[in-house]
Amino acid sequence: MTITRQEFRDAMARLGAAVNIITTDGPAGRGGFTASAVCSVTDEPPTLLICMNRNATAAPRLKENGTVCVNVVTAAQKEAAMVFAGVTKCPMEERFLAGNWSRLATGAPALDGAIESLDCRVAEIVEKGTHLVIFAEVAAVRFGKMDEAGLIYFDRDYHPVGAMAAGP
């Protein structure tokens, strides 16, 4: 049985996932994009898997820089996630006006106030279909406060999640 591209996309829309702003910096300059396709691979060494469309504006920068920071966003940072998703068309550098940023171990921008920021060095990139599958080894972690709702992407929309999402 073969499924269509649209059937697969519709099925994946029902797979809720955390919203992340993925950033990079280095010789190729700053770049970033919003992704929900992020997961752990192993804790020895601590490694994440990140999927990115190979045609994304940030792809060449990420490949050349060899660094990424996975910023797990709060519900209050939804607008920043939308900016990095390309909902508002603006130059790459202007995307970084949507938040306050600092640096951890690799120099990739870490979003202040994020639930957590996982600063990584790219270990390997595999090309599969329309996407790059990035294996990134975690060099530093910064934990944010857990007093805000998280944000998931489900059914092609953003939704707050967690104890703070329900309100008092």
Cβ 1 vs Cβ 8: under 8 Å: no
Whole-number Å distance between alpha carbons of 65 and 67 = 5
Whether 89 is covered by a domain: the verdict is: yes
| Other Cβ atoms closer than 10 A to 108 | 32
- Name the domain count of the chain: 1
In terms of residue numbers, what domain contains 59?
Answer: 17-157
Entry pTM: 0.93
pLDDT for the residue numbered 163: 64
Quick one: how far is CA 45 from the chain centroid?
A: 20
In-domain check, residue 168: no
Residue 166 lies in a domain: no
Q: Is position 7 within any domain?
A: no
DSSP classification of residue 74: B
From CA 31, how far away is CA 29, in angstroms rounded?
7
Q: Cβ–Cβ contacts within 10 Å for residue 113, how many?
A: 16
SS3 state at 146: coil
Res 111: pLDDT: 98
Task: State residue 32's pLDDT score.
Answer: 97
Residue 15's pLDDT is 81
Look at residue 140 and tell me if it is in a domain: yes
Q: According to the model, what pLDDT value does residue 10 have?
A: 87
pLDDT (0 to 100) of residue 164: 64
Report DSSP letters for 9-71, one per residue.
HHHHHTS-EE-EEEEE-STT--EEEEES-EEEEEETTEEEEEEEETTSTTHHHHHHH-EEEEE
Residue 50 lies in a domain: yes
Question: What are the pLDDT tens digits along the chain (168 aa)?
Answer: 799 989 988 888 888 899 999 999 999 999 999 999 999 999 999 999 999 999 999 999 999 999 999 999 999 999 999 999 998 788 999 999 999 999 999 999 999 999 999 999 999 999 999 999 999 999 999 999 888 899 999 998 999 998 666 555
Paired strand residues for 150 = 74, 161
Instruction: Please report, for the domain that includes residue 69, its CATH number.
Output: 2.30.110.10
Contact 103, 109 (CB under 8 A): yes
| 22 assigned to some structural domain | yes
Residue 151 domain-assigned (yes or no): yes
Predicted local distance difference test score (pLDDT) of residue 90: 87
Two tokens, residue 30: 């700053």
